Structure 1
Amino acid sequence: MKLRLVKRLLLIGIFISEVWTQERPGNAPFCALNAGSMSLECLGNLLRVTLNAEYFEDKYLSFAVVDQSGIAWDLDEAMAAQCGYTVTYSNWSSIEFRASAASCHSHLEKNVFTVTIQIKVSHTPDMENATSHLKSASCHYGPRSSRELVCESNYMEVSVRKEVPQPIKDFIQDAPEDWSVVFPEAKAEEASIWQVVFHQPEEKKALLVSDAWSAGYGLKTTDTRVVLRIPHTAAQVQLVEDQGITFSVVRSSTFYKHGWMILMVDTTVACPVDGDDYTNKTITWTVPKYIPPLSAGATSFKDVLVEAGVDLHKLSAKEMASRKYVLSDDLNVIMMKIPIGAEGGYYKTSVSNGQLGAKYTINLFLEHQWEDNKWGLTRHTIIKEIETPFEQIELAITSNSNLSTRLMNVTVGTFLPDVELVNLTIEGVTVAVPEAVQHGYIIYRTRYSNGSRAYIIQVSLDAPSIKKEYMRDDMRAYTLNVTLAFITHPSRETFTVPVTAASAVRDAVLPSVRGFCDGRNLHLIITHGNVDQNWLPFISDWPLTPEAAQKYNYSLRDNGTHLAISVPFLSPHVNYEVFHTSGIKASLYLSLKDGINLANRRDFSVSCRFSPSELIQCLPSGTVIITAIKVVGVEDLDTSLLVLRDRECKPSVVTEKTATFKFSVNTCGTIRKFNSTALTYENEVLYFRPGNDTPAYRLKFVCSYAVNQAANVRYESKKNLLPHVKPGFGSLTLSLKLFKEKSYSEPYQESEYPVVKYLREALYFEVELLQPKDARLDLNLDDCWATNSQSQDNLPQWPILINGCENNKDSYRTVIHEVNYSHRVEFPQHLKRFEVRMFTFVQGSTLLQEQLYFHCSVVICNTEQQPLDFLCPRRCNAGKHRPARSAEPHLHGQVSSGAVIFRKENN
């Protein structure tokens, strides 16, 4: 019979870890057990050997019985039941080996029986390198009864005295060979069992000795006794009910040979199967006194003795009273009452539907002796293990964190000694107890004086599997979630215990922020704390994910220690709170929310003043881009309904807070004005509520262009219906270019200057208004002249055009060329072309071979002006003085060409 303590065994097992000391060195086959590891008891017709389970922890055990010839017979469950041996795990700390006085290989001499057992111990299930321990024990067996019945946990046994008749005087016995002829099966020994007949209700079945052994029955005969042993699982066992109690019954007759005679003896046996009840926290065990199968044929009965006890120990009336046991003996039944939990029994762990519970177990012992007119004295010994129903228990889980060492300690238990922790599941990963340290878990097992145990889990607060969650202020909650898996011994039932423990620690470091702005963006740089790993950034309840940031052209970067966010000034999630001439107060509000429940954790903001020019762009091409914004206090404004003076001009881009218009200065009802240095355009952004022609919102803006310089854009506000707008910038651009041919198709490039020309060679000049491209503007030439330096005011000077007319002092008159529309010329009124002959300055009679620079002054005229004044359009007025300027101002400008070098012709 082989078993492993706690892990697995043939019958039972437990698991602890010590070694036995060998009695002899080297490879000695037999070793002696240490003191305290084994005890022996003689209990009537039974020998009990008790092994200390803790001593054999984490080892495999096997049992064998050694016969008189020295042969060791290995025990398995079937052989143990057949031969009268029992191995049980009686409680948390002991393993019992019991042998019947009539067991197969016991030696019975007079009133003493001797049993020799061999115990092998190994660390492996194949029993390699096992140490062997041999032990013999002899027990005195008292006066024998005519019939002895034993009800063990794995077998039933009946032992009866042989009835030998007196020999007949002068009877001639048969010779041995005569037995072989008549009854060959009964020829073996002088006194031996020949045949067993089982009495079934419908038939009788006879088995010879060899067949009975093959069927699992145990038979033995001595000079004075016949023994039959039946396993509880034998085929001939019948269930019979008497007085509400069910019995396992085998009715049989055993035939044996004595001398020249074949005799028969009744070997019927009966053992109670049930009879136990559990009410009011009390176990009640009832056994009928006279069981019909055992009383058949008898007519008179007399009780001799009723004794009871626990673990095969008989208890006196005083001992029973101290344990609150009650033993009652009436006319028909014997009854024992034991309080659940009383001394003598023990609790063992049980699992039902995954729930942890316990059952109370007690190994009762009852011996009833009676006399009748058939058998004389009968001794009926019943060993009955009673187990109460499952009762669920609540398991205590206690958390006691040591914050100074940042350790979380959780105590789980208490458990009964038959429970062992086998693994832990940490974040979905199952690890064995020895491997848990690799995950930061240290497991301790503590034992208490009553034998129970608890498990202590110690884990660092900084372990990856500990969930950390911000609570409030500077508090963080640390939560341990782990599932413990246990196994019970020897039943090997499994159950799990989910463990959740939390501790609050004042160690939270909240994220901090630094905000700033540059010319066009608002920036927030958030320094991570130790609580915001799973917090998400939100702008106005809008999650700022990398994908969303890319959609709005926001910059979002996180390097693990800092989260950097950059948002353009004109963005849909920027708030405009204050608006005046000194700037716009733009604010970006950002919240960090819990990534699980979206609870608001921290709020940050950055506010900066931006130049109003960020709202208006006056492009040189004459295109104006203006962004109207909705400020705090005008929440009812629908930006999609904003229009310009021409209500057909609607915004090209609309957000909840902004509306962007892009249009040419020629369109959308834009008004143009002139002064002496600048060209000005005006328009308005308007908002009309439905059904009302009075603007509820008006934003007037002005875009000014000045020659060769930037001009401010002004704003106006009426009745505080709208926020103020800061100016943008624009410029007006003129050019004077020298062309290679009269076709005016190819100008000289900058890299080609200075240009070399010969005396009296034609020079083709073009003056152009480059920006803005406004069809209502007309460029007119006023004066044109040449100098020998880049300065327009340098002397000497030579006039080419005077008041828009040719210089009549020139030998070669300046020629004005007409400008027509072409693929290069979109607005002919923006260009003037003229032709002059190459000349040079003369000093006395000497030609000065120096560079010439050509300059022109221009007038930008308004073609829509009625009536046209004297200067616009410019007319040639030779001989007249320059008139006074008209009431309507005009824009004047000057342009210059690159250098032209005079070269004499080669003669």
Structure 2
Amino acid sequence: MLFVWLRTDCNMRGLKNILLWNLMAAVILLGQARPNVKLNLQSSSGLRSDCAGNLMRLSLDKALAVGNQLEVEAINGTQHIVLTPSLAAQCGYSMESDPWGNTRIYTSLMGCYVDNKDDTTFNVGLRLQMYGQNPSDVASHDVTQTCSYSRWASREVLCDRNYMEVSKHMATPDAGAKGQTQDVNDDLQSNTIPGASGAAHGVWKMTFFTPEPVAMVLMEAEQAGYTAMTTSTRLVMRSPYNTAETYSEDVAGVPMEVFRASVYYKAPHGLSVENLAAACPTGGTLFTEDVISWHIPRRVTPLVDGSFKILEMHMGINGQRLDKSQMAARGYTLSATDFHIIIEIPVGSPDGYYKSHAPDYQYHITYSVEPMLDVLWRGDNNQDDTRYKVLFPITTPLMPRPPQAENNTILEDRMFSVHLGTFLHDVVLRNITFATGVLTVEECNARGFAVQEHSLPQGRKSFSLQVPFDADVVLKHNPEPLVTVYSLPLIFAFLILPEETPFAHPVDLEASLRDVVLPTITGTCDMNAFYIHVKYGSQGSSFQTMVGPLQLSPELGEAYNLKDNSTHLSLVVPYQAKATVFEIINSDSVRARLDILLWDPINNWLLGDFYLACSFPLMTTNCYPNGTMTALAVKVESVPNLEPSLLTLKDKSCKPVFSNDRFAYFSFSADSCGTTRMFFDQYMLYENEIGLYYDSNKGAYTSPIDPEYRQTVSCYYVVNETQTVAFSYKPRSNNPAAQIGSGQLMVQMRLAQDSSYEHFYEAEHYPVVKYLREPLYFEVALMQSTDPQLELILENCWATLHEDRTSLPSWDIIVDSCENHDDSYVTIFHPVVSDARVAVPSHFKRFSMKMFTFTKDDEVLKDEIYVHCDAVICDTNSQADGACRGQCAHRTGMSNSRQQGIKVKREQRSTDSSNQRQISSGPIVLLNPQSNF
């Protein structure tokens, strides 16, 4: 069975549990398992055996044991004895194995199952059994080694890893053959040496001094784990460490494990007794960062009674002596003081090995080496020599080696690069923890995070990692608007093989770049809305958008037709939206402004500031022909505290028909709400005022004291035509400005179906078909006006063949507000009275005429006519002359120019009046124009 040393204290050795058997090689090797593979150990490849003084050494290369379990058996003739830990310590076998499976097996030449030829030739046989993961996969190899050793000292003390051994020369009787003890009969042996196990041993009993004496016969001692035997020339005794009959003793400051015993054995001349003792160091090591110093007492008092001198002193490694040149090449020293023999070994010597450890998950290393001391001394009073040989594996205390991270990040490459080291070759990188999770090495490389392992001198290694700044595992924040700080927190997770001991090391990387591209805002306008376009910068859409005073929410985005993707967003904001402000008001337009802010709410940074001001069509005042006036008061930026709902006309009871936080809309008739009217020259003016007045004494809005807001609304008319209507006001420096607006008084001419004037021909009825001399009933009306002081006057009416009112020929129907006296069929004016349809009779004029046609040389020129009129609107209180003196009320005569109902051509009439309101009828078609009446 495979067995390996474990030491709980680097300064202690020889513990009772120092051997571990049946240890899986996978635990101590690099874990390169080869399941179900039969091993072929019949060749000598990987196996080396040699002789090292009083030891035989067998070296087993790790390649033979990878992934397998090793069992060691001692070959004793035809027998194979499995070496259990206790049997190995009792019989002189030991083994040392490094964590990777490089194994050395040591056998004492005085071991139990060694074929001893006269204490000079020794045949050692071992069988190595390799068990794979499948128990049926077994490979074995028998190793035999013959060693010759004849330079035995009178006393030899061997300190191996798991046992102490002492052998002493016995005098050879003259009568007996060399190397043989004298025969005695069985009765004498039984009576003299009770419990003796046979002549081959020749040992009867022993007394241990602990220091109190403890006596045991040989069988009892063997059951307690001791070995006592005689060979042809020597008496041998062996004890494991830390048995009940051993004890610890401090010798020159070095702890020693000691056993002392008197051994009674059968000799040719009778029963003899020898005092045997062994003392082995379990400490004595001192460490610096660079050197191991091993101190062994120069005078091992349990073994030396008087004075002595050292005859030989040798240093060795792994049980093999080194000469001076070999020691010098490795930097080893062997020296002696008055009290100690000192061996110094540089930490890191090639004869030892480093090992990684992770106590408390922190990376440490140890260095292990196996020095040997071989000393021969001679006592002054006793010519007997003593050879003292100690095999002493040493492991340094844990040495912290926190990994060092070298930040090789190159900002221009936008790539984090870190180099982490150094580690021993038994460390593997298992995974890396990023801010987003844990990735194995394979997953890192698959995602483009280059993880590499680098080989360094002396069997060391390091690791490197590269991660792009833009990877999702990189954290980003902006300490200032244009600067990005990239952070990469890492935890490297390692395993120490073959134990698979975990440990971790954190690394925090950080880089700062002035690489932020801020978002940009552009915008345009049309007649109705603002069009805003935001192009994201390098930070994407990680900002808040302020549209005017409002934050862009999903609801607001829906109202403003928000469209966005990974690179842009766009908005369509109506110019009357709450997010806009009005800067200037004109009669036909408003200048509105939209402010857009891009805001970082986390850092309270302004990322983008944009405003767009455009003029949009907006009629603020309208003057209608029916005397209705409308005015729109608009809250502009210069009067931020205005409440439109508090505005009134001069008559404080005339409040807005509609208002909100931005507009107040007034609709009123020209003869209400305190509206005034003035006539001057040829113009008529309606005027009112929108105002807001605050009485600071009363603390309320009242009469016009200390005006806060005032807007004059005016409508201008030319008295004999429809004029534009406008409003104006007397602005304060902070009040909105407006220009003159325009409007029309509408006059309409219609053809009635009969003299009742209740039913009229509509547009779809034209052309209207009439017989010659059939009456045509016309009505001309001032539409929608309710002002009773206005009167509609028909100034001139005439007929033409064509729709063009200036075309020839033409015939006068009404001339200077009276009927045409040259017409034999005189135009008739019909009175107008109030009814459900007629509110103000002075706004209507009705007349009739008979259907006619134009002829030339008794030929009908065309079978249709058009009727045209010029109308004026007058003030009934006006004293002006001319047409405004009223419509003719009587006929003054009749023309004799008509011939058989056919009107003759007249000269083209004058139409140069620029103040006339022009109205025309649709075509009226003559039916059977050749008929005579």
Equivalent of 1:521, from 517, 520, 529? 529
Give the Å deviation of 1:365. Answer: 4.0
Identity over the aligned pairs, expressed in percent? 19
Equivalent of 2:614, from 599, 609, 620? 609
Give the Å deviation of 1:644. Answer: 3.2
Give me the whole-angstrom Cα distance separating, in 2, the residues matched to 1:128 and 1:779: 128
Aligned 8 A contact 1:642 1:688 in 2: no
Assess, with a 3 A threshold, how the Cα gap between structure 1 residues 555 and 811 changes in structure 2: closer, same or farther.
closer
Q: Please list every run of 5 or more consecutive structure 2 residues that lacks an aligned counterpart in the other structure.
A: 5-22, 700-704, 819-824, 856-861, 892-914, 929-933
Assess, with a 3 A threshold, how the Cα gap between structure 1 residues 29 and 311 changes in structure 2: closer, same or farther.
closer
Give me the whole-angstrom Cα distance separating, in 1, the residues matched to 2:411 and 2:676: 80
Alignment of 1:400-479 (within 5 A): 401=410, 409-458=417-466, 465=473
Query: Which residue in 2 is equivalent to 1:816?
Result: 833
Give me the whole-angstrom Cα distance separating, in 1, the residues matched to 2:686 and 2:454: 93
Assess, with a 3 A threshold, how the Cα gap between structure 1 residues 120 and 555 changes in structure 2: closer, same or farther.
farther
Query: Which residue in 2 is equivalent to 1:383?
Result: 392
Query: Which residue in 2 is equivalent to 1:557?
Result: 563
Give me the whole-angstrom Cα distance separating, in 1, the residues matched to 2:40 and 2:523: 84
Q: Read off the aligned partner of 2:664 and give its amino acid letter.
A: F
Assess, with a 3 A threshold, how the Cα gap between structure 1 residues 792 and 454 changes in structure 2: closer, same or farther.
same
The alignment partner of 2:446 has SS state of helix
Assess, with a 3 A threshold, how the Cα gap between structure 1 residues 764 and 455 changes in structure 2: closer, same or farther.
same
Please report the TM-score for the alignment, with normalisation by the length of structure 1.
0.65
Equivalent of 1:64, from 53, 71, 87? 71
Give me the whole-angstrom Cα distance separating, in 1, the residues matched to 2:923 and 2:204: 147
Give the Å deviation of 1:253. Answer: 9.7
Query: Which residue in 1 is equivalent to 2:95?
Result: 86
Give the Å deviation of 1:487. Answer: 2.0
Give me the whole-angstrom Cα distance separating, in 1, the residues matched to 2:684 and 2:139: 115
Give the Å deviation of 1:242. Answer: 3.5
Query: Which residue in 1 is equivalent to 2:647?
Result: 644
Aligned 8 A contact 1:714 1:727 in 2: yes
Aligned 8 A contact 1:160 1:227 in 2: yes
Q: Read off the aligned partner of 1:819 and give its amino acid letter.
A: A
Aligned 8 A contact 1:425 1:483 in 2: yes
Give me the whole-angstrom Cα distance separating, in 2, the residues matched to 1:227 and 1:401: 70
Max Rg structure: 2
Give the Å deviation of 1:225. Answer: 6.2
Alignment of 1:481-520 (within 5 A): 482-501=490-509, 514-520=522-528
Q: Do residues 660 (structure 1) and 668 (structure 2) align? A: no
Query: Which residue in 2 is equivalent to 1:156?
Result: 163
Q: Do residues 112 (structure 1) and 131 (structure 2) align? A: no
Give me the whole-angstrom Cα distance separating, in 2, the residues matched to 1:257 and 1:859: 165
Please report the TM-score for the alignment, with normalisation by the length of structure 2.
0.64
The alignment partner of 1:661 has SS state of strand
The one-character-per-residue Cα deviations of 1:678-723 (angstroms, maximum 9, x if unpaired) are 9866545669797896457766666889999996755556463345
Assess, with a 3 A threshold, how the Cα gap between structure 1 residues 638 and 10 changes in structure 2: closer, same or farther.
same
Q: Read off the aligned partner of 2:159 and give its amino acid letter.
A: V
Aligned 8 A contact 2:2 2:70 in 1: yes
Give me the whole-angstrom Cα distance separating, in 2, the residues matched to 1:708 and 1:98: 132
Query: Which residue in 1 is equivalent to 2:10?
Result: none
The one-character-per-residue Cα deviations of 1:261-280 (angstroms, maximum 9, x if unpaired) are 99999998776555545579
Give the Å deviation of 1:811. Answer: 9.3
The alignment partner of 1:532 has SS state of coil
Moved more, 760-769 or 138-147: 760-769
Assess, with a 3 A threshold, how the Cα gap between structure 1 residues 150 and 479 changes in structure 2: closer, same or farther.
same
Give me the whole-angstrom Cα distance separating, in 2, the residues matched to 1:15 and 1:210: 43
Query: Which residue in 2 is equivalent to 1:143?
Result: 152
Equivalent of 1:14, from 27, 30, 34? 30
Give the Å deviation of 1:724. Answer: 3.3
The alignment partner of 1:440 has SS state of coil
Give the Å deviation of 1:320. Answer: 7.4
Assess, with a 3 A threshold, how the Cα gap between structure 1 residues 652 and 811 changes in structure 2: closer, same or farther.
closer
Query: Which residue in 1 is equivalent to 2:734?
Result: 721
Aligned 8 A contact 1:536 1:544 in 2: no
Assess, with a 3 A threshold, how the Cα gap between structure 1 residues 273 and 10 changes in structure 2: closer, same or farther.
farther
The alignment partner of 2:30 has SS state of coil
- Number of residue equivalences: 830
Alignment of 1:124-139 (within 5 A): 137-139=145-147
The alignment partner of 2:421 has SS state of strand
Aligned 8 A contact 1:247 1:272 in 2: yes
The alignment partner of 2:72 has SS state of strand
Give me the whole-angstrom Cα distance separating, in 1, the residues matched to 2:755 and 2:222: 138
Alignment of 1:15-414 (within 5 A): 29-30=40-41, 32=43, 42-48=51-57, 59-68=66-75, 84-89=93-98, 95-101=102-108, 110-116=120-126, 118=128, 120=130, 137-140=145-148, 143=152, 146=155, 148-152=157-161, 155-158=162-165, 160=167, 172-174=185-187, 191=201, 223=231, 230=240, 240=248, 242=250, 273-278=282-287, 285=294, 302=308, 308=315, 311-312=318-319, 319=327, 323=331, 327-331=335-339, 347-366=354-373, 377=386, 379=388, 381-393=390-402, 395-399=404-408, 401=410, 409-414=417-422
Assess, with a 3 A threshold, how the Cα gap between structure 1 residues 14 and 578 changes in structure 2: closer, same or farther.
farther
Q: Read off the aligned partner of 1:173 and give its amino acid letter.
A: D
The alignment partner of 1:816 has SS state of coil
The one-character-per-residue Cα deviations of 1:411-446 (angstroms, maximum 9, x if unpaired) are 322333332222233453333323332101333322
Query: Which residue in 1 is equivalent to 2:912?
Result: none
Aligned 8 A contact 1:11 1:88 in 2: no
The alignment partner of 1:396 has SS state of strand
Alignment of 1:864-879 (within 5 A): 879=889
Q: Read off the aligned partner of 2:451 and give its amino acid letter.
A: I
Give the Å deviation of 1:819. Answer: 3.0
Aligned 8 A contact 1:741 1:764 in 2: no
Assess, with a 3 A threshold, how the Cα gap between structure 1 residues 685 and 451 changes in structure 2: closer, same or farther.
farther
Give me the whole-angstrom Cα distance separating, in 1, the residues matched to 2:247 and 2:754: 133
Q: Do residues 532 (structure 1) and 536 (structure 2) align? A: no
Assess, with a 3 A threshold, how the Cα gap between structure 1 residues 491 and 665 changes in structure 2: closer, same or farther.
farther
Assess, with a 3 A threshold, how the Cα gap between structure 1 residues 71 and 596 changes in structure 2: closer, same or farther.
farther
Assess, with a 3 A threshold, how the Cα gap between structure 1 residues 399 and 554 changes in structure 2: closer, same or farther.
same
Give the Å deviation of 1:395. Answer: 0.1
Moved more, 427-436 or 851-860: 851-860
Give me the whole-angstrom Cα distance separating, in 1, the residues matched to 2:843 and 2:792: 7
The alignment partner of 2:28 has SS state of coil
Aligned 8 A contact 1:65 1:72 in 2: no
Give the Å deviation of 1:399. Answer: 1.3
The alignment partner of 1:436 has SS state of helix
Assess, with a 3 A threshold, how the Cα gap between structure 1 residues 671 and 222 changes in structure 2: closer, same or farther.
farther
Q: Read off the aligned partner of 2:563 and give its amino acid letter.
A: R
Q: Read off the aligned partner of 2:440 and give its amino acid letter.
A: A
The alignment partner of 2:442 has SS state of helix
Assess, with a 3 A threshold, how the Cα gap between structure 1 residues 503 and 160 changes in structure 2: closer, same or farther.
same
Give me the whole-angstrom Cα distance separating, in 1, the residues matched to 2:308 and 2:519: 93
Give me the whole-angstrom Cα distance separating, in 1, the residues matched to 2:523 and 2:794: 57
Q: RMSD in angstroms over aligned alpha carbons?
A: 7.0
Aligned 8 A contact 1:396 1:414 in 2: no
Alignment of 1:713-792 (within 5 A): 715=728, 718=731, 720-722=733-735, 724-725=737-738
